[in-house]
Amino acid sequence: MSDKVIFLVDIQSFYASIEKVDHPEFNDKPVIVSGDPERRSGVVLAACPLAKKWGVNNAERLWEAQQKCPHAIIVRPRMQRYLDVSIQITNILNQFTDLVEIFSIDEQFLDVTASVRLFGDPLSIAQNIRNTVMNTIGISARVGIGSNKVLAKMACDNFAKTNKNGVFQLDVENIQQDLWPLPVGKMFGVGSKMNHHLRRMGIRTIGHLANFPLDLLEKRWGMNGQVLWQTANGIDYSPVTVKTLDQQKAIGHHMTLPKDYERIQDIKVVLLELSEEVARRSRLKLYMGSTISVGVRGASFNFPNGFHRQLKLDSPTNYGMDIFYSAYQLFQKHWDGSPIRSIGITLSQLQPANNYQLNLFDSQLKKENLNKALDFVYAKYGPAALIHASSLTNAGQAFHRAEKIGGHYK
């Protein structure tokens, strides 16, 4: 195995912890950060440890959480504040190593292999990081330690989050003793569906998976089968890289609707808004894309339905109406007429916007000039400064979305 020392730093109940720091009066009370229940986006985004003791779980519906913990304080998310704190944490971690990879808003990988000579052994560095984050920001960090990213992630998720000291090291010496007895659903990369498939094959623990014949896993799932086997055995060759966010493969936008949308003319409005938003983001990142994807989820929680389909374009684009025409075509072809709760559009197969094959039958220059004018207005006055007239109807969500970051309030 590698001699590398990799950390996964995770912040406990990130959103809820920040709200408690900003509101000391919440300190001894259960706090739940949730979307806007009046717009049917009342899902638990974060619950503090006190709320979790009452059985509240992330991603469950707010009304269910309130039944478990009726005295909980419900706070609407403030995404800009959370992003600012996340950047602050990154700056702290950069004091220990220049190899910091942002994994999510509250999780970051660190390669501290070269930092051991400066800051001491891995456990000392981890405690130093935890103390610095607590003293600077007032929130608790947990640190998983491993010889690669997979081991560090599983060390954090399965052990550091439950340890009193908030730190755990997982390596070849203790992987069989500590990791292998865990249910296979606890392994990084195994979701509910894969857990179901594995258990039907008699694979109930991570150890079972680690010792399962690799050729049978590859026969069943191809390359994914090999990745599952390697993860169970603590094998991961991916480096910690600071350029993770530069390697974007797709740009998309998803929206949970405030009510059931049943009429095609109302859904068409939302598709147009999403298309323009995806196009705007693509131009901002200097990308064009060749594949349009549409994902839809039905209105029923108990009997979920929907579809996810994609369409290859004749030429790459970052023009809103191009995206819309393809997205609308996909939706009309695959929608069964059932009410929908959420919808998303994604532009993939990205390439640099300054280098593409010209299409003689497409007025690309006119589109570029229009895009430049739109982007100038957006940059100066915001994403809702110019909208289609259809967004002024009751179905429109453009003004509401302009108040949010990542689907949540700023």
- Per the structure block, which two tokens stand in for 171? 């390596």
CA distance 144 to 132: 16
Q: Which candidate in 19, 107, 273, 276 is catalytic?
A: 107
Residue 19 is a catalytic residue: no
Enumerate the H helices of 49-164 as residue ranges: 49-52, 62-68, 79-93, 116-119, 122-137, 149-155
- CA separation for the pair 183, 181 (Å, rounded): 7
As to burial, measured by CB atoms within 10 angstroms (0-12 exposed, 13-18 middle, 19+ buried), residue 358 is exposed
Provide CB contacts within 8 A for 175, sequence distance 6+: 151, 233, 234
The amino acid that residue 191 corresponds to is G
Q: Which residue in the block uniquely carries the two structure tokens 């109930």?
A: 204
H or E element: which one contains 367?
helix 364-381
Strands (E), 306-380: 306-317, 340-352
CA distance 357 to 354: 10
Using only C-alpha atoms, the chain has a radius of gyration, in whole angstroms, of 23
List alpha helices for 285-362, DSSP H. Answer: 320-334
106 appears as a binding residue in the annotation: yes
Q: What is the dihedral of CA 83, 84, 88, 89, to 10 degrees?
A: -20
Report the C-alpha gap between 381 and 307 in whole angstroms. 35
Nearest to residue 407, comparing CAs of 294, 180, 203, 252?
252
Element (H or E) spanning 194, and its range? Answer: helix 192-200
- What is the rounded distance in angstroms from the CA atom of residue 256 to the CA atom of residue 394? 15
Binding residue ranges for Mg(2+): 10, 106
Residues marked active site are found at: 107
Binding residue ranges: 10, 106
